[in-house]
Amino acid sequence: MQVPFVKMHGLGNDFVVLDARVGDVPEMTARLAAALADRKTGIGCDQLILIEPSDSATFRMRIFNADGGEVEACGNATRAVGLLHGAPATIETLGGLLSSNPADGGVAVDMGEPRFDWNAIPLAYAMDTLSIPVGWEDLDAPSAVNVGNPHVVFFVPDYAAVEIERLGPLIEHDPLFPARINVNFATVTSRDAIRLRVWERGVGETRACGTGACATAIAAMRRGLTDRKVTVSLEGGDLTIEWGAGNRILMTGPAVESFRGTFDPAAYGVAG
Ligand SMILES: N[C@@H](CCC[C@H](N)C(=O)O)C(=O)O
């Protein structure tokens, strides 16, 4: 069996995209997703993306982190599949119904509404998510926001100085976050600009995280640190995030197709 795939990225956050509508795709398991994502023995990616037919949208997008865990949302992948589709689309995800449109500067995506209730993040205890009264060493009082998936956001004087490889996993796995969490380290540089690094749940530090950019922008706006439209700069490049009419988050940025290929699931010894 040869399964076609498309290798794509959004600002260096990279994906293996499989489309079950156009070719034979094996039943996806956590083990197969992790094997395909492996950068030494697989194709290599931050997220495995599976496109399936949908009854309620143009198509359904399923998202698997590099560790094999299936998750609710991925901003950069939403732009990538929007680019593949090449026309306006509605996209069913575990995190909600999204929409994408070709736009100047790449693809524009309606990422839905942010949620702030402690149990919607989710947190283990009732807390004010604008400024959670907790800390890890000299990092404290983060905001928490769910933008389809869970994020915690630390505003720090120098985002580049944070020991992300050490503190990221510590916070991701803290029992305060029963579904684990994506960890954002941000420095606000003006009313319309933020610099950001993200430790992604189930992956590690990536060159860019679209939902991290959305969550960080919304947290900054909620705290009154920025205006309602900002540029979020990540290692891989810039995203424009707007908290628009109807409480919806609009994200605009590039997506790129890198190459296409096929793989034989039998070669991974983990199919099914
Ligand atoms: N890279 C993504 C986020 C992918 C999912 C995330 N790691 C999670 O576990 O929720 C993005 O661009 O948003």
17: in domain = yes
Ligand 1 pocket: which of 209, 234, 241 to mutate (most atoms <8 Å of CB)? Answer: 209
Query: Do residue 21 and residue 50 come from a single domain?
Result: yes
Structural domain boundaries enclosing 259: 3-101+255-268
**Nearest atom (ligand 1) to Cα of 209:** 12
Query: Do residue 182 and residue 84 come from a single domain?
Result: no
Query: Do residue 95 and residue 23 come from a single domain?
Result: yes
Quick one: pLDDT band at residue 271, thresholds 50, 70, 90? very low
CA of 44 to the centre of ligand 1 (A): 16
Helix (H, G, I), strand (E, B) or coil at 237: strand
Determine which residue's CA is closest to atom 1 belonging to ligand 1. Answer: 209
Q: What is the mean pLDDT of the chain?
A: 97
106: in domain = no
Instruction: Name residue, tokens 């949620």.
Output: 115
CATH value at residue 33 = 3.10.310.10
Determine which residue's CA is closest to atom 10 belonging to ligand 1. Answer: 149
Using left for φ > 0, alpha for ψ between -120 and 50, and beta otherwise, residue 224 falls in left
Query: Do residue 230 and residue 123 come from a single domain?
Result: yes
Number of domains in the chain: 2
| pLDDT on residue 105 | 86
Query: Do residue 124 and residue 234 come from a single domain?
Result: yes
Mean pLDDT, to the nearest integer, of 174-198?
A: 98
Determine which residue's CA is closest to atom 9 belonging to ligand 1. Answer: 201
pTM over 0.95: yes
pLDDT at 139 > cutoff 50: yes
pLDDT per residue as tens digits for the range 209-248: 999 999 999 999 999 999 999 999 999 999 999 999 999 9
CA of 43 to the centre of ligand 1 (A): 19
| pLDDT on residue 270 | 63
Quick one: pLDDT band at residue 257, thresholds 50, 70, 90? very high
113: in domain = no
Interface pTM, i.e. ipTM = 0.99
Mean pLDDT, to the nearest integer, of 171-189?
A: 98
CA of 166 to the centre of ligand 1 (A): 19
CA of 228 to the centre of ligand 1 (A): 23
Strand partners, 232: 194, 239
Tell me the CA distances in angstroms from 159 to 42, 198, 215, 217, one per residue in order. 32, 10, 16, 15
* The pairing of beta strand 182-190 with beta strand 204-206: unpaired
Determine which residue's CA is closest to atom 8 belonging to ligand 1. Answer: 201
112: in domain = no
Query: Do residue 182 and residue 220 come from a single domain?
Result: yes
pLDDT at 268 > cutoff 90: no
108: in domain = no
| pLDDT on residue 203 | 98
Query: Do residue 129 and residue 162 come from a single domain?
Result: yes
Mean pLDDT, to the nearest integer, of 48-64?
A: 98
Mean pLDDT, to the nearest integer, of 246-269?
A: 95
110: in domain = no
Mean pLDDT, to the nearest integer, of 198-205?
A: 98
Ligand 1 pocket: which of 48, 71, 181, 211 to mutate (most atoms <8 Å of CB)? Answer: 211
d(CA 158, CA 232): 15
